[in-house]
Structure 1
Amino acid sequence: MIFGAERFVFRPKSESRQEPIRVAESLTASPPSGARKPMLVTLMVASALSPLAINIFIPSMASIAGDLGTDGATAGLGLSLYLVAVTLVQLIAGPLSDRYGRRPIILGGLALFILGTVFCLFAETIGLFLVGRVIQAASATGIALSRAVVRDVYSRERSAAMIGYVTMGLAVAPMIGPAIGGIMDSAFGWESVFWLLLMLGLVTIGLVAIDLKETHPALGSPMSQQIGNYGKLLRERVFWIYLGIGSFVTAAFFGFLGGATFVSVELLHLTPAQYGLWFILCPLGYAIGNFITGQVSERAGIKRMMVIGAAVSTLSTALLGLVVLLDWLAPITLFGPMILLGLGNGLALPSATAGGVSVRLDAAGAAAGLLGAGQIGLGAVASSLAAHIATGPFATLGLSAIMLGSTLIALVLALAAPRLRQN
């Protein structure tokens, strides 16, 4: 199968039909000789390891602070530094994979994850532990490049469906991670959590080494050219649309993640265990949305999927705003709309990602890195802002405003996205 790297322009309004015209680029890409499509489970596992390492660690922060002789805020840097490193890793991994291939960069990231986990396990000071957490973030190569691998071997519309399946791992990890981490920490101590991560890292690197063959068709370009791909992508208006849609629907979820803990504990008086159970509704909705995307996106088209996903996400945040205005706050009214937010994310994100990595097929890795960095970066900003607002006098109103604003921006961008022909 041969894919042409293409971009899209539109005829002026004076012409009879405003139909997109495909303009051929210089690159014609096809999977390397002998390459085959990897098993979906391989890409799912590779993309789920990094988010699992984020969430499974959270219940252990107090235990780590006590054992390493520090305070909770310093131990919490293990989360914030990890998120910053994940953002940077995705920016670096994209061009590296376009230069050297997807397979070696993913394997290198997994090897660093294993090294970082060992650092965490044997750290005797909080400084060494935090170094280990930063090194662990190299596993984020699996998040970004699993999407690039999908686009290497599938057409744009089909890749939206396959990315929907692949990113189901991103939903399962935050769904089960905190529960597993809390149970293991209580029963065996926080080190057991990192022993589990070490084992999972070894399994993942073995699976990738065996199953994932190189899929990138055009290796060998100078690194300066690969970095220059960022400039090419950022000059494409349509790439900004896909980047914005993915980043703003993600920001709504991260905003909830940052502010809902305070609202749940301080205003609704939920225990951490109760919060964890109610929170399952959001990633459950995301998993359902990913599955639906896998089933119907090829027929519906990525624009329609993005519009529907952003609209469902906006509906969920509008319902939350209504709950706040009517003073109907309760666990079911706080978390219930979040199943719709997760569903909308599951419909919009894979489609926006598939569109983004298709803008220039000679820069699919760079595009995947930018898309992932934008989602995590804006998500981290929304999470921090929501956490700050949630401790003030207008906690629920501010939280719902951040979330509604994010989803409305995503919806406007989805409506503005061009309707592209299948490729």
Structure 2
Amino acid sequence: MDEGKSAASVRQQRAAVSLLMAMVLLGVFPLDVLLPSFPALAEHFGNTPTDIALSISLFAMGIAFAQLLIGPLSDVIGRKGLLLAGMMISMLGALGCVLTADYTLFLIFRVMQALGCGCFVLSQALVQDLFEGEQRDRLRILMVTATGIFISLSPLAGTFLQATLGWRGSFWVFIALAGVVLIKAWLFLDGSRPIHNGPHPGFVQSYRRVLGDVEFVSYWLISAFAFACHFSFIVISPLIFMDRLQLAPYDFSLILLIYGAAYIVGGIVATVLTRRISPGKQITVGLSLILLSGLAMLYLSSNFALAPATVLIPMLICTAGTTIARPAATSGAMRLFPEIAGTSASAGSTIIFICGGLISALISLSPANLQSTLGYSFVLLSSVALALNSWIRRRATIPGAEAMTQPGSE
């Protein structure tokens, strides 16, 4: 009997992991895979590539708005219904993008697709709901690693889809993947509502509760600063490799493949560290690597001419550090309010979204040496994040300090 329950539990966990990985993969298609199709989209709609870039901004705004509502709502009515609804809305939006010949309607359908994709914020809440302890930490490491690998592969995938299926190819693949997630969620997730002790707080009260907790915000800022280092590189990498170094798009895609290898190495190291040291020390190790990468980038930019290696080597170190620090920081934040995991995930995702967008925009607007600007940014962001982590760890030594009674904390 116990063996049967154990086998069922293993199958359930595998189903949960496959669902989450499908959601991670689906998350790169609306943005990253579409980038190589910008010229074709501009030609199809009779606009400039700059006009087509507006669809990216609107898409990001749509996701940001949707996730603010979806997280708290999922704490009240459950995750399954919202995930199913989100997938259906995003599929309809993507289908509209494929079928329309009017650019204004294309933008409307892109916003519709984005509103549906806001349900991806539920992935962190599902991890909190379905897994415990070390399994939860390992899965978050796997998700961060998979995200980096998929992003690294996305330029090649987008180029292939553009060459074979045209600009509509990424939308058709998105619809297919969304259908897979829809079926998996329908078959695997139950429709039960989260269990609450007492009345559930309202929308505003839930956000006030999590955002009023300094430790919660500090953990998410650590994760956000680590993410911003990675995201800034992704945003300005075309400017460095294709504009400054005049690399062909195919060569640029190959460089990002090498970049993806750092996620694999970082994920392996992070998995080993979860079994050997506390989450606070994991964060310190990851942030120290990001600091080291910033110093290395500054040294290389000062002493060597700009070349793929002088940018890529520090970024590989930075990416490994990001993969180690982010899952530990995310787990630290998510364990503080498990009863409103949806709100916690939405609040954290919004913090990451704002920090990543603002910091990458400031770096990309720098008229000076982009390599040096990246290096200084890494040093500054990692130093602030290390200070926040040090504060959290010192707080853990205070008798009776709340939130430091969790298993595995220091």
Q: TM-score, normalised by structure 2?
A: 0.87
Contact 1:36 1:213 in 2 (8 A): no
1:305 corresponds to 2:276: no
Aligned counterpart, 2:122? 145
Quick one: distance in 2 between partners of 1:108 and 1:89? 12
Question: CA 1:249/1:139 → structure 2, altered by over 3 Å: closer, same or farther?
Answer: farther
Counterpart in the other structure of 1:280: 257
CA displacement 1:124-145 (0-9 Å, x = unmatched): 1222212222222235445421
Q: Does 1:209 align with 2:199?
A: no
Does residue 187 (structure 1) correspond to residue 164 (structure 2)? The answer is yes
Per-residue CA distance 1:99-154 (angstroms, 9 max, x = gap): 11111122221111101111110121222212222222235445421111111233
Contact map agreement 2:77 2:194 (CA 8 A) in 1: no
Q: Residue in 1 aligned with 2:310? A: 333
Match of 1:45 in 2: 22
One-letter amino acid of the counterpart of residue 257, structure 2: I
CA drift at 1:166 = 3.0
Which blocks of at least 5 consecutive residues in structure 2 are unaligned?
1-10, 397-403
Distance 2:21 2:228 in 1: 22
CA distance in 2, matches of 1:86, 1:298: 35
Partner of 2:371: 396
What is the CA–CA distance in structure 2 between the aligned matches of 1:171 and 1:221, rounded to whole Å?
40
Secondary structure at 1:300's aligned position in 2?
Answer: coil
Name which of structure 1's ranges 112-121 and 80-89 shifts more when overlaid on structure 2.
80-89
Name the counterpart of 1:31: none
Give CA-to-partner distance per residue, 1:144-177, whole Å, 9 cap, x none: 2111111123335542222112333322321222
Shift of 1:421: 4.4
Partners of 1:131 and 1:276 lie apart in 2 by 30
Cα deviations across residues 297-323 of structure 1 (Å, max 9, x unaligned)? 254222111111111122112211111
Aligned pairs for 1:411-422 within 5 A: 411-418=386-393, 419=396, 420-422=404-406
SS in 1 for 2:247: coil
Question: How far apart are the structure 1 equivalents of 2:280 and 2:26?
Answer: 29
**Retained in 2: the 8 A contact 1:59–1:178?**
yes
Amino acid of the structure 1 residue aligned with 2:98:
L
Secondary structure of 1:76's counterpart equals helix
For 1:79 and 1:287, how far apart are their aligned partners in 2?
28
Contact in 2 for aligned 1:314/1:411 (Cα 8 Å): no
CA contact (8 A) 2:66 2:119 kept: no
In the TM superposition, what is the alpha-carbon distance from 1:47 to its structure 2 partner? Answer: 2.9
| Residue 386 (1) aligns with residue 363 (2) | yes
* Structure 1: tracts of 5 or more residues without a match: 1-34
Partner of 1:352: 329
Equivalent position of 2:195 in the other structure? 218
**Aligned pair 1:88/2:56, yes or no?**
no
Using a 3 Å threshold, how does the CA distance of structure 1 residues 305 and 119 change in structure 2: closer, same or farther?
same
CA distance in 1, matches of 2:275, 2:124: 16
Cα deviation 1:50-100 (Å, max 9, x = unaligned): 223211010001110110111111101122222222222222221011111
Q: Trace 1:227-306 onto structure 2 (pairs within 5 A).
A: 227-306=204-283
How far does the alpha carbon of each residue in 1:259-293 deviate from its partner, in whole angstroms, 9 at most, with x for none? 22212223222122212211223333224323443
Cα distance 1:382–1:215, how it changes in 2: closer, same or farther (>3 A)? farther
Could you tell me which of 318, 327, 337 is aligned with 2:295?
318
Q: Which amino acid in structure 2 is aligned with residue 279 of structure 1?
A: L
The verdict on how the C-alpha distance between 1:242 and 1:77 changes in structure 2, with shifts beyond 3 A counting, is same
Residue 76 (structure 1) aligns with? 53
Structure 1 match to 2:383: 408
SS in 2 for 1:269: coil
The one-letter code of the counterpart of 1:383 is S
Deviates most, 284-293 or 63-72: 284-293
- Is 1:377 the counterpart of 2:354 in the alignment? yes
Corresponding position of 1:362: 339
Aligned-pair distance for 1:395?
A: 3.0
CA gap 1:145/1:192 in 2 versus in 1, 3 angstroms? same
Cα contact 1:107–1:208 (8 A) shared by 2: yes
Q: Letter of the aligned partner of 1:102 in structure 2? A: R
Identify which range, 409-418 or 138-147, moves more after superposition: 138-147
* Partners of 2:94 and 2:42 in 1: CA distance: 17
For residue 222 of structure 1, report the CA deviation from its aligned partner: 7.4
- Supply the distance in 2 between the matched residues of 1:85 and 1:60 (Cα, whole angstroms): 21
The SS at the match of 1:254 is helix
Moved more, 405-414 or 67-76: 405-414
Percent sequence identity is 23
Q: Tell me the alpha carbon deviations over residues 223-263 of structure 1, each in whole angstroms, 9 at most, x when there is no partner.
A: 86143111011111111111110111111112112222212
Which of 87, 101, 108 is the equivalent residue of 1:131?
A: 108
Q: Deviations over 1:12-45 (max 9, x none)?
A: xxxxxxxxxxxxxxxxxxxxxxx96552111111
Assess if the C-alpha contact under 8 Å between 2:280 and 2:389 holds in 1: yes
1:178–1:276 Cα contact (<8 Å) kept: yes
Q: 2:304·2:310 contact (CA, 8 Å) conserved in 1?
A: no
Q: Distance in 1 between matches of 2:104 and 2:384?
A: 39
TM-score, normalised via structure 1 length:
0.85
SS in 1 for 2:365: helix
